[in-house]
Amino acid sequence: MKSSIKVLVIDNNETLTKDIEKYFSSHEVIKVVACKNNGEEGLSYILNNTNNIDVILMDLILPNLDGLFILGELAKRHINKNIIIATNFKEENILEEANEYGIDYYMLKPISFMSLEKRILSINLKNNNKIFNQDAIITDLLHNLGIPSHIRGYQYIKEGIQIVYRNTNMISYITKDVYPEIAKKFQTTPTRVERAIRHAIEISWSRGDINLMEDIFGNSLNVNRDKPTNAEYLTTLAERLKVNHNLVRN
């Protein structure tokens, strides 16, 4: 079973915290364990649930206790957590002070939930001794792109992405080399592989997260037409995999 990344959200905007909680409610890896709307409640939750938090997402501007005070208390108590700051606050001296506490990322509001997801996953990958878990990243992508894991095309696409990731030149020989390699592994025929992948893409186009598809396949995406070919789909997701890999190495 895949281990989860437990996230605590501290922000006085209740609408934002609820939206974040909803966005990650069905995520396979990221789990929002609590949302607190003031600094005092946030700090109290951290002190009482230290072992149940991997990442803290918080604003610097908070009622009762501000973000800097929380960072200072964590430092004094030697509580080391991954910190993502998401704020409208732009005072350079305050941001420099926050950086001295070793925050992992700073995001300016309004934040993109897809960017937030990427940041949280990249933190987790770095924490795991910089091991790049291809399977986890691909699984998350296909899940959010709306491809059910029980259909054959799901497994064929996962395998195809990894083949293209290992050797980009293979995409020029998708019919000659990629389909046969997938077919051999799953004891089927190249024709059935091609059809199953095409069927999976059709499902993705009708069920996937439109914002994620626009992010991956282009901002001018029209989901009602111009679906990518099998080769384009595999190539684009293989490139996405490389982006995640670069996040780990840098």
Which of 86-100, 139-153, 201-215 is modeled with the greatest confidence?
A: 139-153
Reference 220, options 208, 210, 209, 230; nearest CA is 210
d(CA 207, CA 209): 7
pLDDT band for position 3 (cuts 50, 70, 90): low
What is the CB-side half-sphere exposure of residue 16 using CA atoms within 13 A? 18
Residue-wise pLDDT tens digits, 21-53: 999 999 988 999 999 999 999 999 999 998 889
Per-residue confidence at 130, pLDDT binned at 50, 70, 90? very low
Token pair, residue 10, equals 């501290």
Question: Which pair of tokens denotes residue 92?
Answer: 């350079």
Cα dihedral sign, 158-249-171-205: positive
pLDDT (tens digit per residue) in 212-238: 787 787 744 454 556 788 998 998 898
Q: Domains along the chain?
A: 5-127 (3.40.50.2300), 134-249 (1.10.10.10)
